[in-house]
Amino acid sequence: MKFEKREQQILAAQKGSNQVAVRGFNERLVLDLVRKNGALTKAEATRLTGLSPNAVSVIFRALENENLLLRGAPIKGRIGQPSVPMRINPDARYYLGLKIGRHVADFVVIDFTGQVRSVVSTTYKYPMPDETVAFARNNLPSLLKGAGLEKEQISGFGIAMPDELWNWTMDFGAPKSKMEIWRDVDLSRELSDLGPWPVYRENDGTAACGAELLFGPHQSTQDLLYFFVGTLIGGGIALNGSVFRGRTGRAAGFGPMRVPVSTPGKDRLVDYASLSVLENMIERAGGDRFSIYGDENAWQENTGLVEKWLETTALGIAHAIVSSLSVIDFETVVIDGSFPPTVREKLVELVSRQLDQLDLQGIEKPAVEGGRWGPLARAVGAAALPLADEYVINQNTLMRH
């Protein structure tokens, strides 16, 4: 197998240790390498980790015994014994992910490689706690049936949702008086009896960023800027190859970021680069503002409004990228959202074009790419929370110790 020079530079900072006391770290490191490269032989793992051949053999054997790795076909034609590449076993573990959005809830099952095995979704004008809990409870049996799994096969459960749902209510047409009830709701506790698994909770934008970093095509990216265009725009950042949550867990919320757009009284990114803005445009034109959620035809039916919205959204995101790059020189920007792939592709193209027209003096234009998951990114990220906690190295946590 061939490895890019850039990847080898990244891995140089993640060398393993031959001390038995950090065997857990070394196993995570080897799993991470296998996940990033698709498959890995013992010789390649030895070279990339700096571990001894014996240590790598012990780790490979342990991971295979735990059913986390599968043997591939031997690679013949080389001197000595044929090399046997190891790959991640998709069926090693399964996880539940629940995303509660401002207009849509998604409930998914993913396998150990991040593939979605089953999904159920529902839409509403705004979320309420009782309905949210009922959605999860009522749909768990059909969700598991769709994945061909029993409850006992699930290894963890993650929840992703916006912080402070009781705020920003005017921006997505919800009555503040009703949304105030969320202040006293602990959804993790409410759903803790759903099954015998640990329950994790994360901000939805941060969770989506984690899904992109763990399962997307950016696994070797060290510093990544991630935008998710939902009802209200959010996102996340990755530093040193790991998701960075920040002091309060709200790193890269993006909504309050000021952008120099000319509309008087509106200078926040959320005022331009959010689906709620498109909702209002459709409603003013006499259409159903909620039609863009769950109905791809609505995007075609409102082509003129969508194109106008895309232009202002791209300009706002481009300004936000420049502001972010003045602080950290991110190598890659990923843009995703609750819209069809064709809309995502157009938005990525427009953002890149806008960046070419802005003053980039003192900064370097990053790669601008589309995300992998679309509307399911936050639910997949929720499901990935327990997986990452048990099997992934967080470089930012390590650096604090």
Q: What is the average pLDDT across 223-247?
A: 93
The model carries a pTM of 0.90
* pLDDT score for 100: 97
CATH of domain 5-88: 1.10.10.10
Cβ proximity of 60 and 45 under 8 Å? yes
pLDDT band at 7 (very low <50, low <70, confident <90, very high): very low
CATH fourth-level superfamily of 94-208+380-398: ATPase, nucleotide binding domain (3.30.420.40)
Q: How many CB atoms lie within 10 A of CB 311?
A: 14
Structure tokens at 279: 């909702």
Under the banding of pLDDT at 50, 70 and 90, the label for residue 106 is very high
Q: What is the pLDDT of residues 240-282, one digit of tens each?
A: 889 998 888 778 889 899 988 766 777 899 999 999 999 999 9
Does domain 216-373 fall into CATH 3.30.420.40? yes
Sequence ranges of the chain with CATH classification 3.30.420.40? 94-208+380-398, 216-373
pLDDT for residue 262: 66
**pLDDT at residue 17 is higher than 50:** no
Average pLDDT for residues 341-351, to the nearest whole number? 97
* pLDDT over 60 (residue 201): yes
3-state percent helix, strand, coil for the chain, nearest multiple of 5:
45, 20, 35
> Chain-wide mean pLDDT for the chain?
89
> What is the model's pLDDT at position 5?
38
Query: Terminal CA-to-CA distance of the chain, rounded, Å?
Result: 34
pLDDT, average across residues 350-366: 95
- Region(s) of the chain under CATH 1.10.10.10: 5-88
- pLDDT surpasses 50 at 21: no
pLDDT, tens digit, 9 for 90 and up, residues 286-315: 999 999 998 889 999 999 999 999 999 999
Q: What is the largest CA-CA distance in the chain?
A: 73
pLDDT at 321: 97
24 vs 374: which has the higher pLDDT: 374
How big is the CA angle at 104 (ends 99 and 108), to the nearest 5 degrees?
40
User: What is the model's pLDDT at position 82?
Assistant: 61
Looking at the DSSP bridge assignments, the partners of residue 119 are 108
Confidence of residue 216 (pLDDT cuts 50, 70, 90): confident
If you write DSSP's letter for every residue of 277-335 in order, what string do you get? Answer: HHHHHHHHTTS-GGGGSS-THHHHHTHHHHHHHHHHHHHHHHHHHHHHHTTS--SEEEE
Average pLDDT, stretch 179-186? 94
Range 219-228 average pLDDT: 90
The residue assigned the tokens 């109905």 is 295
370: enclosing H helix or E strand: strand 367-370
| Structure confidence at residue 247 (pLDDT) | 83
Using one digit for the tens of pLDDT, what is the confidence trace for 138-174? 999 999 999 999 999 999 999 999 988 898 888 788 8
Residue 339's nearest CA partner among 297, 305, 375, 376 is: 375
pLDDT at 79: 59
Residue 346 is predicted with a pLDDT of 98
* Model confidence pLDDT, tens digit, residues 36-88: 899 999 999 999 999 999 999 999 999 999 999 999 888 766 655 568 899 99
Q: How far apart are CA 210 and CA 241, in angstroms?
A: 10
